[in-house]
Amino acid sequence: MKNEPLDRRALGLALTRLANATVAEVLANDAHAGQNPENAAYRIGFTGPPGAGKSSLVGRLAQLRNPGRRMGVLAIDPSSQKSGGALLGDRIRMDELENIQELYIRSFGSRSASDGLTDNLPELIAAMDSFAFDEVIIETVGVGQAEYAVRPQVDTLVLVLLPDSGDTVQAMKAGIMEMADIFVVNKSDLAGARKMAADVKRIASLRKHSQNEWQPPVLLTSTDAAPSIQQLSDTINQHREFLDRSGARASLLQERAKYRIKRLIERETAQVMHDLGPDFLKASLLEQYHLTLAELASRSKLKTS
């Protein structure tokens, strides 16, 4: 399929269907259950606080890595808790790249997800795999420490920071700071960029690494400096080689599978509690717990029968 032109319309329809799929529909239409993860697209995650320039950086990186590869970008924007809608600003900032051959960009609202990702993300990426993408970049909402859920969803995780985000780094150091594979201080032309990079190196050094572990580097990037984007791309390649050489990707695949079923159960539980209504909450905690489990079990039997 990689030798055929990318069918953008078919892919777009598939992604729209999956993005709106209920838990029941996901379970009933799991066309990718037997897929070999070794043949899946390589996943690169970008996370970090809002305003760090993730979208522009992702756009430049995707443009650089696109030749010779089928590249996909899934950008996640925050959904309104009131309307459920999303601005999808990441797509707006990447519109200039939408006509590049073999490069596909799509934005999604975070919907009910509160971990920086979006509903049915594993299914969305599986669809990208079925269209023979070589690499998929996932850009998270950008809410900070809560985005640890992206860790098992990607092979290489890039944390993007700003030169003046020292307080943000302090707040994140017990979370995503411990999980990133590559640290990037973006907009390196701003004052304080090198000091920020030094601070990140100091904080990262507090994490204990064995001799055989990957040592996360700290890079300075600017979307106007092509060599810095090339250095980031080269470092991603080095991390991929490390994963292949060390066998570390196997544990990532296990955590990825766990996250998929966990999110489906969370979504179904939220729907059950909504459907049970307010009287359900008048029962004791133990009764609420057992009522929820019983309803989940009942719905599961209906879906699999």
Which pLDDT tens digits describe the chain residue by residue (305 residues)?
Answer: 566 788 999 999 999 998 888 888 888 876 554 455 556 899 999 988 888 888 899 999 999 999 989 999 998 876 544 444 444 444 445 555 556 778 999 888 766 555 556 778 888 998 999 999 999 999 987 655 445 677 888 999 999 998 876 656 665 655 677 788 999 999 999 888 998 898 888 887 777 767 788 999 999 999 999 999 999 999 999 999 999 888 888 888 888 888 888 888 988 898 898 898 888 889 999 999 999 999 988 887 766 55
Classify residue 158: in a domain, yes or no: yes
180 and 271 share a domain? Answer: no
181/300 same-domain check:
no
Specify if 2 maps to a domain.
Answer: no
Domain identity same for 278 and 148: no
Asked if residue 171 and residue 275 are part of one domain, the reply reads: no
Q: Which of 248, 272, 288 is the last residue of a domain?
A: 248
Look at residue 108 and tell me if it is in a domain: yes
Three-state SS for the chain is CCCCCCCHHHHHHHHHHHHCCCHHHHHHCCCCCCCCHHHCCEEEEEECCCCCCHHHHHHHHHHHHCCCCCEEEEEEECECCCCCCECCHHHHHCHHHCCCCCEEEEEEECCCCCCCCCCCHHHHHHHHHHCCCCEEEEECCCCCHHHHHHHHHCCEEEEEECCCCHHHHHHHCCCHHHCCCEEEECCCCCCCHHHHHHHHHHHHHCCCCCCCCCCCCEEECCCCCHHHHHHHHHHHHHHHHHHHHHCCHHHHHHHHHHHHHHHHHHHHHHHHHHHHCHHHHHCCHHHHHHHHHHHHHHHHHHHHC
Number of structural domains in the chain: 2
pLDDT of residue 34: 44
Residue 268 lies in a domain: yes
Choose one of 226, 248, 270: the last residue of a domain.
248
Q: Given this model, what pLDDT does residue 115 score?
A: 53
84 and 46 assigned to the same domain: yes
Please report the pLDDT score of residue 181 as a whole number: 93
Question: Looking at the whole model, is its pTM more than 0.75?
Answer: yes
Position 168 scores a pLDDT of: 60
- Residue 77 belongs to what domain range? 8-248
Are both 238 and 285 inside the same structural domain?
no
